[in-house]
Amino acid sequence: MTKQVIQFGQLEEFMAEPFVPGQVVRVVVLEIIEGVSAQIPDLRQVSVGVHVRTINCDEHILACYLPVATVQLYNGRREGDPTWQKYDAAWEQAAALKERVITTLQAAAAEKGFKVCAAGVIDLGEIRPLRATWKADPAVAEVQRQH
């Protein structure tokens, strides 16, 4: 039986779902790779972001994807290439975002009884992740306070 995937456009909506005690919510940094052009086979679009996924008691996959950056890359890393620097920076930003998401989810987990795990990926198959937002991200709130 194929599991149904329910994707959320906001992390807050994901967190509002009912969780059962012991349910595991997985938070990982992943990239999504897509070919860009058949004429240029080494060119690909890479999106880096934080994926939050769980399987609920109804056996549905609940998913929320928080994108960080999308870059077009050619195969072969070149020293000093600004595109590859942007790619590396995206992974660093995603790692920091993952830690903020985990901290927030752990606070909710203490209240709702689920577990947070920073390992393992629940496969969505061929489903393209819906780009979500996180309005209450502490880093975004800090930047807004400074302006």
Q: Is the pLDDT of residue 142 over 60?
A: no
Asked whether residue 141 is assigned to any structural domain, the reply reads: no
Assign 125 to helix, strand or coil.
Answer: coil
Asked whether residue 147 is assigned to any structural domain, the reply reads: no
Distance CA 12, CA 132 (A): 10
The pairs formed by 77-86 with CB atoms below 8 angstroms and a separation of 24 or more are: none
**pLDDT one-digit tens code per residue, 69-90:** 999 887 776 777 888 899 999 9
**Pick from 20-24, 55-59, 112-116: least confident:** 55-59
- Token pair recorded at residue 94: 């995603």
Amino acid letter, 89: A
Q: Is the pLDDT of residue 52 over 80?
A: yes
Domain range for 32 is: 5-136
The predicted pLDDT at position 147 comes to: 53
Asked whether residue 81 is assigned to any structural domain, the reply reads: yes
**pLDDT one-digit tens code per residue, 53-72:** 999 877 899 999 999 999 98
Distance CA 119, CA 132 (A): 20
The predicted pLDDT at position 131 comes to: 92
Asked whether residue 142 is assigned to any structural domain, the reply reads: no
According to DSSP, the residues that pair with 117 across neighbouring strands are: 26
Asked whether residue 144 is assigned to any structural domain, the reply reads: no
Distance CA 112, CA 103 (A): 14
- Token pair recorded at residue 19: 């969780």
Asked whether residue 32 is assigned to any structural domain, the reply reads: yes
Asked whether residue 121 is assigned to any structural domain, the reply reads: yes
- Token pair recorded at residue 96: 């920091």
Q: How many domains does the chain fold into?
A: 1
- Quickly list DSSP for 43-108: EEEEEEEEEEEEE-TTSPEEEEEEEEEEEEEESS--TT-HHHHHHHHHHHHHHHHHHHHHHHHHHH
Asked whether residue 145 is assigned to any structural domain, the reply reads: no
